[in-house]
């Protein structure tokens, strides 16, 4: 535990409060620098392990990072990257649209009525534990090799997330606000639009952020089994050709893309959407 305040050595006691503040600022800058160095060290260690493994393992088992980097560069330059990621992102997005359209009403019912809560409870919990493989292959059986399969599997995976979060949100709606609106004779439609929906939007958003990682993986998995294009399809083709560097290159692109979307896009958007709420987010 490195706590600059607790563990700071009392060698140079601050005389005035300005000095104290300067010392504290210096200590926090030092921790920040240390953190940054270790963050870099984490990445460096990963590459080092990869490089060493590539060097010591028999030839062809694990290509070195640089070789994979070259393949990645080729993929990006040839335009295959943009084309396939665009296709996959489109399908994931459509899947989310379907999941929100189906999951939000289910969550609303679950949050408001005990009957529907009991009705959907088992389905939602079971749907959350089913292995992704099942969704991928079931979508394939239903739709065959088409773009609809990945959309369906994304929707199936995300619906429980959306439903659970929206239910949580409905239960979190300020009841005194609802009662006041009723007392002032607002119609139930107005209450729904002015009280419930604004409270629920952030929950839907949180659900999508939470399920993005899972959904994105399932989308790729479904494409592996029966896609015509997309990241998963490319990974599958490289695997069938036994191109380890091809698989690794697509994997790295997949990870980079996912980290960018998750860390930069979704988190920023969420912060903006949730900016009006001072209390911390509700999440699992």
Residues that bind another protein (CB under 8 A): 1-3, 6-7, 31, 34-36, 38-39, 41-43, 45-46, 61-62, 114-123, 125-126, 129-134, 137-138, 141-142, 144, 182-183, 185, 187-188, 191, 213, 217, 220-221, 224, 232, 235, 239, 242, 244, 247-248, 251, 254-255, 258-259, 262
Give the position of tokens 């009723």.
182
Smallest gap from Cβ 6 to another protein, in A, equals 6
Cα 47 vs. chain centroid, distance in angstroms?
A: 24
Which residue, chain included where needed, has tokens 């980079």?
A: 256
Q: Which is nearer to another protein, 93 or 116 (CB)?
A: 116
- Which CB atom, from 70 or from 262, has the smaller least distance to another protein? 262
- The token pair that represents 108 in the structure block: 């609303």
Least CB distance to another protein at residue 114 (A): 7
| Side-chain half-sphere exposure of 203, counting CA atoms within 13 A | 25
Residues 167 and 106: their CA atoms lie apart, in Å, by 8
Token duo for residue 38: 């270790």
Q: CB-based burial of residue 7 (10 Å sphere; 0-12 exposed, 13-18 middle, 19+ buried)? A: exposed
Output the smallest distance, CB 109 to another protein, in A.
Answer: 11
CA atoms within 13 A on the CB side of 87: 19
Closer to another protein by CB, 152 or 207: give it. 152
Local structure of residue 62 (DSSP, 8 states): S
For residue 201, give both structure tokens: 């939007």
Dihedral sign computed on CA atoms, order 16, 20, 26, 29: negative
Give me the least distance between CB of 276 and another protein, in Å please.
Answer: 26
Which residues lie closer than 8 Å to 162 by C-beta, 6 or more apart?
Answer: 99, 100, 102, 103, 104, 106, 107, 204, 207, 208, 211
Please, are residues 163 and 110 in contact by the beta-carbon 8 Å criterion?
yes
Packed helices 244-259 and 231-240: angle between N→C axes, nearest 10 degrees: 160
Using the minimum distance from each CB to another protein, give the nearer residue, 72 or 221: 221
């Amino acid at each position: 535990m490195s706590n600059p305040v607790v563990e700071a050595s009392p060698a140079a006691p601050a005389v005035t409060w300005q000095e104290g503040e300067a010392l504290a600022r210096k200590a926090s800058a030092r921790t920040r620098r240390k953190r940054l160095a270790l963050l870099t060290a984490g990445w460096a260690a990963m590459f080092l392990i990869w490089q060493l493994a590539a060097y010591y393992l028999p030839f062809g088992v694990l290509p070195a990072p640089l070789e994979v980097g070259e393949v990645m560069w080729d993929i990006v330059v040839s335009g295959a990257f943009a084309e396939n990621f665009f296709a996959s992102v489109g399908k994931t997005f459509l899947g989310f649209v379907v999941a929100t359209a189906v999951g939000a009403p289910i969550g609303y019912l679950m949050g408001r009525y005990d009957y529907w809560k009991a009705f959907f409870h088992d389905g939602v919990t079971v749907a959350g534990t089913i292995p992704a493989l099942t969704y991928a292959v079931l979508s394939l059986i239903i739709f065959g090799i088409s773009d609809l399969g990945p959309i369906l599997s994304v929707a199936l995976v995300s619906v429980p997330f959306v439903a659970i979060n929206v239910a949580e949100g409905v239960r979190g709606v300020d009841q005194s606000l609802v009662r006041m609106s009723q007392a002032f004779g607002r119609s139930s439609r107005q209450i729904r639009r002015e009280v419930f929906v604004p409270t629920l939007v952030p929950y839907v958003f949180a659900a999508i952020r939470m399920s993005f990682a899972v959904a994105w993986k399932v989308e790729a998995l479904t494409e592996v089994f029966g896609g015509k294009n997309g990241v998963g399809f490319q990974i599958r083709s490289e695997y069938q050709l036994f191109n380890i560097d091809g698989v690794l290159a697509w994997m790295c692109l997949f990870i980079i893309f996912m980290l960018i979307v998750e860390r930069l896009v979704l988190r920023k958007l969420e912060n903006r959407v949730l900016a009006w709420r001072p209390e911390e987010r509700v999440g699992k």
